[in-house]
Structure 1
Amino acid sequence: MHLKEDVQSRLAWAAYFTIGTGLLAPWNALLTGIDYFAAVFPGKPMDRLFTVTYLPACLSVLLLLLRFKITFLTPQVRIVNSFIGFALIMLAIPTLDLFNLGPRPPASGDTSSAFFPAVLSATIVIGAFDGLCQGAVFADVAALPPKFTQAVVSGTACSGFLVSILRISSKALWAEEQRDTGFPGLRASTELYFLAAALLSLGCAAAYGLLLPRLHAVQQLRRGEGHVGMPAELHVMQAGPKAHTLTDPLDQQHTAAMSGKVQIGDPGPERSMSGAAGVQSGPGDEEDALLLSLQSSRSCEVEHDLERTAVPPEADQRMMLFRSCWKRLWPLCSGLLITYIITLSIFPGFLAEDVENKVLGDWYPILLISAFNTSDLVGKLLPASSQSWRKGPNDHSRFHLQRIARAWLSFAISRILFIPAFICASFVATPPFVMFLLTILLGASNGLVTAGLMLGGPEMLDPGMEDAGEGILVISLISGLLVGALAGFLWLL
C-alpha cells in the first residue's frame, strides 16, 4: 500500500483497535443482552451461566495451545477464522430463536427447550474461539511498539462500550413496540443488536487478514523485531559447536594446527635442516610431544561438553521458555488474576440481577453495565498506564521494570475494598447515584490496572518470547475471570 509511513502507522493503530473491539464483542453481546435472555429464560441466572460456560472453554484452548505446538495454526489462521466463527455464532443465536416464535418468551423458563442448551453451546463455542484468538492477537502486538498493545487493550474496553450503545439504541428504537406487543419488540431489538455484533466481527477478520498484510510499515516492524522464540540459554544449546569459543591458548593452537595453518612445535628452518640430515633433535621434541598429548586430551573434553549440551527435546524447550517468562512476569500475572477475581465477583452478576429500581425498571441493569463499560474504556485510555513504563536516564532497566510491576500489583490488591463496598450497598437501600458511582470507580480502576499490566508484558520480555509470555498473561487474566465468576455465585446465597 503506497501511503506515507505515518499514515500507515495510524491505519495499523486503528486496525488493532478495531480487532481489540471485536475480540470481546460476542462476549459483551451476550452479557449486555441480559434483558432478552432474562425474558426468554425467567428465573435463570443467565449472566452467571454464560460466564461459567464461556471461560472454561476459553482457558482450556489457551492451555492446549501453550502445551502443544500446532504448526498449522498460524497466528493469521487463528485470528481470522476466530472472527469468522464469532460472526457465525452471533448470527446463529437470533436464527435459533426463529424456531421459538410466539407472543411470549419461547422457553418460559423451561430448560428442556432446545433453545436453552443451544444458547449455552453457542457460548462454549464463542469461548473456544476467544481462546484461539486472544493469545495470538496479544502475541502479535507484543512484537510491535507499545502503542499497538494499548490499541488492542483499549479496543477490548471499547467493545463493551460499543455493545452497550448498540443495546441501548436498539432497545430504545423498539421501546414503543415493546410496550405495545411485549416480547416481539424485545426480540426485534435483539436481532438488530446481534446482527451489528456479527458485522463487527467480520470487519475485524477483514482488518487483520486483508488490511494489515498490505501495510508495509507493519511488516517492517515485525521483521525488525525478529522472532527468536526462546530464552538465551536455549540459543546456546541450539548453536551447537559454534557456540563454544575456544579461548584457551592450547585450544586455539590445536585448532589452528588441525587446519594446517600453524605447525605445533614447528622446529623452524634450522631444525628442519638438521632433521633432514638425520641429526637428533634436542629436548624441544619432548615438549612438542607433551603439547600434542595435552591438545588431544582437551579436544576430547570439548567433544564431551558438546554432547552434554545437546539440544533438549522440544517439550523441554517450551517448559524452559515458560519458566523464563514466568520469572519475569509473575507480578503482572498475579495482578491480572487478582484484578479480575475482584471485578468478576461483582460484574456483571451483581449489577445485572441483584439490584433493582422501580423507576428505571429493566433499564437499570443495562445502564449500570453501560456505566461500567464506559468507565473501563476511559481507564484503559488514560496515559498513566503507558507513561508508567517509561524509563528515565538513571533508571536501571531490570530493577526499574520490576519496581513498576510490583506497584501495579499493589494497586490491583487494593481494589479488594470494592467487595465490602458493594456488600454494604446490597444490604442498604442504596440510591441509584451511589450505585452508579461505585460502578464507575470499579470500571475505571479495572481498565487502568488492566492496561498498565498488559503494557508491561512487552517491556519485560525479550524478542521472541512474545507468544509464550503474552499467552501466560492472557491465561492469568482468564483464570481471574473464571474464579471471579464462580465467586459471583456467592451473591445468590
Structure 2
Amino acid sequence: KIEEMGVTTEEISTPERLQGKRNAVIVCWLLGLGSLLSWNSMLTIGDYYYNVFPNYHPSRVLTLVYQPFAVGTMAILAYNESRLDTRKRNLAGLVLFFISTLGCLLLDVGTSGRGGVGPYVGLCLLVGAFGVADAHVQGGMCGDLAFMPPQFIQSFFAGLAASGVITSGLRLVTKAAFDKSNDGLRKGALLFLSITVGVEFLCIFLYAFYFPKLPIVKYFRAKAASEGSKTVTSDLAAGGTHRLGDWYAVVLIAMYNVLDLIGRYTPLIKFIKLESRKGLLTAIVARFLFVPAFYFTAKYGDEGWMIMLTSLLGFTNGHLTVCVMTVAPKGYKGPEQNAMGNLLVLFLLADAFVQGGMCGDLAFMIPELLQSFFAGLAASGALTSVLRLVTKAAFDKSHDGLRKGALLFLAISTGIEFLCIFLYAYYFPKLPIVKYFRSKAASEGSKTVTADLAAAGINQVEDDGAKVVDRFTLKQLLCQNWDYFLGLYLIYVLTLSIFPGFLYEDTGHHTLGAWYSIVLIAMYNVLDLVGRYTPLIKCLNLESRKGLMIAILARFLFVPAFYFTAKYANEGWMIMLTSLLGFTNGHLTVCVMTAAPKGYKLDLGTSGKGGVVPYIGLCILVGAFGVADACVQGGMCGDLAFMVPELLQSFFAGLAASGALTSVLRLVTKAAFDKSHDGLRKGALLFLAISTGIEFLCIFLYAYYFPKLPIVKYFRSKAASEGSKTVTADLAAAGINQVDDGAKVVDRFTLKQLLRQNWDYFLGLYLIYALTLSIFPGFLYEDTGNHTLGAWYSIVLIAMYNVLDLVGRYTPLIKCLNVESRKGLMIAILARFLFVPAFYFTAKYANEGWMIMLTSLLGFTNGHLTVCVMTATPKGYKGPEQNALGNLLVLFLLGGIFSGACLDWLWLIGNGSF
C-alpha cells in the first residue's frame, strides 16, 4: 500500500513513519492549549470586566457574542470542509487568535482601563474574532488530526482542557499577588493577556514550522492525500525533510529562560514560597538529581524529555533563587539587610555590581520588590529565548543570518540598558514606597542610602556626633544565616553544573536534532519561572530552615538522575528532569531569598472581591466547556448509538451525576469552610483539584480501557461491517486491524433524509433544553428573591435540580416509565412549557418550598425525557446512520442550550415589572 500512496519504502520505512509520535502528542497538546487559551483568559479575568463594565452584563453578553460567531463560522467551514486548505485555515485561526488577544491588550492599554460603550463594543468585536478563530482552529485541527493516531486528537482536546486549568491556576496566583495592590484587577488582566499573546505566537510557530516536519505527521498526511484528501496539500509542502538542526539548542535555552522567569514569580504564591531554612536546603540539594537525570536523558531519552528537564531546571533555578534572596534578610535592621543582600549575591556569584547593589537596596523593603527583581532577571532569559527563536526563523536562510541576529540582540539590549539607567537614576528613588523604606533604613543607621535619599529630594540632618549603629557584623550575619547562604550556593552549583552546558552538549542526538537543547532550555526557563511564583502558595512556601536545607540537598539526586536518563532513557524523561530542575531552582531560590530577610509582615490575604477580569475569565472557561461538551457529547452519542441502549442511558446518567456530585460537594465545602478565612477560595481549589483528577481518569478510561471491552469491540466491529468509517481508530485501539479489500460503497441514508425521518426527535430535544436553560441556572441565581436561606438558597435550588436530573436519567430503565411513543414524547416535551408561568407565579407569590419542588420537577423531566429521546432515536438504523444520528441529536441539544441561554435574558428584561 505504501507504493500506492506515492511514497516508496526507501522514503518512509516502517520504524521511521512512527518517529516523532511523542513529540507530535506534545505539540497537539500545546496547539489545543493555544486554541482556547485566549477565550479562557477572557473568562478567567471576568471579574476585571465586571469592574470596568458593571452595567453591561459581560458574562452573558460576551458569551452570546462569542457563540454565534463560532457556530456560524463553523457551519460555513463544515459545509465547505472538503474544499478548504487545512493548513491555511488553521494558520488563519491561530494568527487571528494572536491578533485578537493582542488587540484586547492594546484596547485596555489605550483606554487606561476605563469603561464605556466604545471600549465595550471593541471588546465584543474582539470576542467575536475569538469565535471565528475558534471555529477555524478547532474544526481544522480536528479534521487534520482525524486521520492520524487517536492519541493526537486526544492530546489536542487535553490541551483545550489544560487551557482552562492553566488560566484558572494563574488566576489564583494573580489574585493572591495583586489583590491588595492598587489597580490589582487590571494588572492581573494585563498579565493574563500578555502570557496568552506569547503562547499564541508559540502555537503559530509550532504549527507552521515544526509539526508538519515530524515523520509520523508527514506519513499520515501523505496517506490521506493518496486517499483523495485535498486539504493536506500545503501541509505536505510544508513538511519537507528538514530536522531541527541547530534549532535544538535555541529551544532548550528558550525553555530554560521562560521557566526561570516563571519560577521567579511563583514565590508570590504564599503556600508555594519556601521560607523554612530546612525546606530550602532540602529543595536545593534535591536539585542535584538533575545531574544524573540530564545525563541519562542525553544518552537514552529523546528531545522531549530533555526539553522538560531543562524547563524544570529553569523553573527551580528561578523559584529557589527568589525564595533564598527574600527570606534571608528577614528579621534584620536596614544595614544588616543590606549586608545580607550583598552576601547572598556574593554566594550566588553573578553580576556582582548590579545584583549585589540591588539586592542590598531591596532587602530592607517589602519582599515583593525583591521577588520582582529576580523575576525580571528570569524574564531577561525568557525574552532573549523568544527573540532568539524569532531571529533564527527570520534570518535562518538569509546571508550572514547569525551576524544579523547578533546585531539585533545588541541593539535591543543597548536600548533596554539605557532605559534601566534612566529608571534607576530618576524614577525609582522618587516612588513614595521606596523613599519610605530608604528613610526607615537610614533611621536605623544605614549609610548606603544617603545618595538615594538625596536623589529623591530628602536631605538628612547630620547629627552633631557620629551615630553609633547597633547592628550585626558581616561575620555574625554569616554565622546566623550560614544555611541560607550555603543553600543558595548549592542551588546554583547544581543548576549551573547542568544548565546550559550539559543540555547543549551531552544530551545525545534525537529526532528533534538541534531543537532538542533549545526545547530543554526553554522547559527549564518556563518551570524556573513557575517555581518562582509557587512560593506564593502558602502550603508550598518553605519557611523552615531545616526544610529548605533538606530540599536543597535532595536536589543533588538530580546528578544520578540526569546521568542515567542521558544514558538509558528517552527525551521525554530528560524533559521532565530538566523541568524539575528549573522548577526546584526557581522555587527554592525565592523561598531562600524571601525567608532570609524576614522581619516585616505583609498582608497578602485575598478579600474575594469580584470584578470584570475574573468574570470574563469565567465566561472563557464556560466557552471552553461548551466546545469540549460539543466534542464529547456528540462523539460519545454517535459512538454509543449503535450499541445497547443501556450504555447511552448510563452516559446521560453520568452527565446528570456530575451535577449532583458537584452540588453535594458544594454543600459540603460551604459547610466546611463557611466560617473559615478565605473559605470560598479553598472550596474552589478543592473543586478544581477533584475535577482535574476525574478528567484525567476519563481520558485514561476512554483511551485505554473502554475500547478493549468485549461488548464494545463487538458493536464497533458490527458497525464497521455495516460501513461505518468512524470506528476505525477505535478498533485499532482495541487491537483489531481491518483489511481493506477495496473501496466499499456504503448504502446509508443521507443527513437530509435522517433529518426528515426524525424531525420530531430533533425538535423535541431542542425544546427540552431551550426551556431548561431559560430557567436554569440564571433565573435560579438572580430572580428567585431573598429568603431565610440567604446565600444557601440558590445552592440548594441548583443541588435539587442536579439530583433530580440524575434520578430522571435512570427512570427510563423502568419499562413502564420509558416513553417510546413519538406522540407521547412530543406531548410531554410541550407540556413542560407550563413551567414558565409556574416559575413566574411561584417566584412572585409562593415561598421557597414551592420553588424547590418546581426546580426538582424541572430537573427530573429534563433528565428523563433526554434519555428517552436519545435512546429511541437510533433504533432501527445501521452503524453509520446511528453515529450520524448521535451527532445530529447533540447538535440540536446544544442548539437548545444556546437558545435557552438567550431566552434567559427575558427574565431580566421583564425584571422591572417582576
TM-score by length of 2: 0.32
Q: Label 1:358 to 1:94 Cα distance change in 2 as closer, same or farther (>3 A).
A: farther
Residue segments in structure 2 that go unaligned for 5+ positions in a row: 1-11, 231-633, 643-647, 731-767, 807-878
Q: Label 1:206 to 1:343 Cα distance change in 2 as closer, same or farther (>3 A).
A: farther
Given that 2:40 and 2:164 are in contact with CA atoms closer than 8 Å, whether structure 1 keeps it comes out as yes
Q: Is 1:133 aligned to residue 137 of structure 2?
A: yes
Structure 2 residue matching 1:395: 3-state secondary structure:
helix
Q: Label 1:378 to 1:478 Cα distance change in 2 as closer, same or farther (>3 A).
A: same
Given that 1:91 and 1:194 are in contact with CA atoms closer than 8 Å, whether structure 2 keeps it comes out as yes
Given that 1:164 and 1:373 are in contact with CA atoms closer than 8 Å, whether structure 2 keeps it comes out as no
Given that 1:164 and 1:369 are in contact with CA atoms closer than 8 Å, whether structure 2 keeps it comes out as no
- Structure 2 partner of 1:76: 87
State which of 118, 121, 128 in structure 2 corresponds to 1:117.
Answer: 121
- Quote the Cα distance in structure 2 between the aligned partners of 1:151 and 1:44: 37
Structure 2 residue matching 1:11: 3-state secondary structure:
helix
- Structure 1 partner of 2:148: 144
Q: CA deviation at 1:139?
A: 1.1
Q: Label 1:189 to 1:397 Cα distance change in 2 as closer, same or farther (>3 A).
A: closer
- Quote the Cα distance in structure 1 between the aligned partners of 2:110 and 2:207: 35
Query: For each residue in 1:235-291, what CA deviation from the matched residue of structure 2 results, as whole angstroms up to 9, or x when unmatched?
Result: xxxxxxxxxxxxxxxxxxxxxxxxxxxxxxxxxxxxxxxxxxxxxxxxxxxxxxxxx
Q: Label 1:59 to 1:420 Cα distance change in 2 as closer, same or farther (>3 A).
A: closer
- Quote the Cα distance in structure 1 between the aligned partners of 2:104 and 2:121: 11
Structure 2 residue matching 1:92: 3-state secondary structure:
helix
Q: Is 1:388 aligned to residue 698 of structure 2?
A: no
Aligned residues: 346
Q: Label 1:97 to 1:44 Cα distance change in 2 as closer, same or farther (>3 A).
A: same
State which of 105, 109, 117 in structure 2 corresponds to 1:94.
Answer: 105
Residue identity opposite 2:695 in structure 1? G
Q: Label 1:171 to 1:117 Cα distance change in 2 as closer, same or farther (>3 A).
A: same
Structure 1 residue matching 2:163: 3-state secondary structure:
helix
Q: Map 1:149-298 onto structure 2 (within 5 A).
A: 149-177=153-181, 181=182, 184-224=183-223, 227-228=227-228
Structure 1 residue matching 2:114: 3-state secondary structure:
coil
- Structure 2 partner of 1:397: 716
- Quote the Cα distance in structure 2 between the aligned partners of 1:341 and 1:379: 16
State which of 13, 24, 28 in structure 2 corresponds to 1:16.
Answer: 28
- Structure 2 partner of 1:33: 45
- Structure 2 partner of 1:48: 60
Residue identity opposite 2:710 in structure 1? G
- Structure 2 partner of 1:61: 73
- Structure 2 partner of 1:278: none
Given that 1:342 and 1:484 are in contact with CA atoms closer than 8 Å, whether structure 2 keeps it comes out as no
- Structure 2 partner of 1:486: 902
Given that 1:157 and 1:377 are in contact with CA atoms closer than 8 Å, whether structure 2 keeps it comes out as no
Q: Label 1:9 to 1:229 Cα distance change in 2 as closer, same or farther (>3 A).
A: closer
Q: CA deviation at 1:221?
A: 2.9
Residue identity opposite 1:94 in structure 2? L
- Quote the Cα distance in structure 2 between the aligned partners of 1:139 and 1:185: 41
- Structure 2 partner of 1:285: none
Residue identity opposite 1:67 in structure 2? Y
- Quote the Cα distance in structure 2 between the aligned partners of 1:174 and 1:119: 23
RCO higher in structure (CA 8 A, sep ≥6):
1
Structure 2 residue matching 1:186: 3-state secondary structure:
helix
Residue identity opposite 2:691 in structure 1? S
Given that 2:35 and 2:160 are in contact with CA atoms closer than 8 Å, whether structure 1 keeps it comes out as yes
Q: Label 1:6 to 1:145 Cα distance change in 2 as closer, same or farther (>3 A).
A: closer
- Quote the Cα distance in structure 1 between the aligned partners of 2:171 and 2:102: 16
Q: Map 1:340-489 onto structure 2 (within 5 A).
A: 364=680, 368=684, 371=687, 375=691, 378-379=694-695, 381-382=697-698, 383-386=700-703, 387-390=705-708, 392=710, 395-397=714-716, 399=718, 428-429=789-790, 479=895, 482-483=898-899, 485-486=901-902, 489=905
Q: CA deviation at 1:429?
A: 4.4
Given that 1:32 and 1:369 are in contact with CA atoms closer than 8 Å, whether structure 2 keeps it comes out as no
Q: CA deviation at 1:61?
A: 0.8
Q: Label 1:209 to 1:46 Cα distance change in 2 as closer, same or farther (>3 A).
A: same
- Structure 1 partner of 2:286: none
Structure 2 residue matching 1:42: 3-state secondary structure:
coil
Query: For each residue in 1:362-406, what CA deviation from the matched residue of structure 2 results, as whole angstroms up to 9, or x when unmatched?
Result: 99599749946972674255222233234639714354789x99x
Q: CA deviation at 1:10?
A: 0.7
Q: CA deviation at 1:170?
A: 2.2
- Quote the Cα distance in structure 1 between the aligned partners of 2:677 and 2:111: 26
Q: CA deviation at 1:214?
A: 1.2
Residue identity opposite 1:106 in structure 2? R
- Quote the Cα distance in structure 2 between the aligned partners of 1:486 and 1:167: 28
Query: For each residue in 1:171-218, what CA deviation from the matched residue of structure 2 results, as whole angstroms up to 9, or x when unmatched?
Result: 3222231xxx2xx22211110111111212222222222221111022
Residue identity opposite 2:36 in structure 1? L
Structure 2 residue matching 1:389: 3-state secondary structure:
helix
Structure 2 residue matching 1:388: 3-state secondary structure:
helix
RMSD of aligned alpha carbons: 5.5
Q: Label 1:206 to 1:190 Cα distance change in 2 as closer, same or farther (>3 A).
A: same
- Quote the Cα distance in structure 2 between the aligned partners of 1:144 and 1:421: 39
Q: Label 1:425 to 1:486 Cα distance change in 2 as closer, same or farther (>3 A).
A: closer
- Quote the Cα distance in structure 2 between the aligned partners of 1:146 and 1:33: 33
- Quote the Cα distance in structure 1 between the aligned partners of 2:894 and 2:206: 25
Q: CA deviation at 1:46?
A: 0.8
Identity of aligned residues (%): 20
- Quote the Cα distance in structure 2 between the aligned partners of 1:227 and 1:85: 31
TM-score by length of 1: 0.55
Given that 2:19 and 2:214 are in contact with CA atoms closer than 8 Å, whether structure 1 keeps it comes out as no
Q: Label 1:5 to 1:229 Cα distance change in 2 as closer, same or farther (>3 A).
A: closer
- Quote the Cα distance in structure 1 between the aligned partners of 2:196 and 2:208: 19
- Quote the Cα distance in structure 2 between the aligned partners of 1:365 and 1:488: 28
Q: Label 1:229 to 1:214 Cα distance change in 2 as closer, same or farther (>3 A).
A: closer
State which of 92, 106, 114 in structure 2 corresponds to 1:106.
Answer: 114
Structure 2 residue matching 1:44: 3-state secondary structure:
coil
Q: Map 1:298-317 onto structure 2 (within 5 A).
A: none
Q: CA deviation at 1:5?
A: 6.5
Residue segments in structure 1 that go unaligned for 5+ positions in a row: 231-324, 406-412, 446-459
Structure 2 residue matching 1:144: 3-state secondary structure:
coil
Given that 2:19 and 2:215 are in contact with CA atoms closer than 8 Å, whether structure 1 keeps it comes out as no
Q: CA deviation at 1:22?
A: 1.4
Given that 1:90 and 1:194 are in contact with CA atoms closer than 8 Å, whether structure 2 keeps it comes out as yes
- Structure 2 partner of 1:448: none
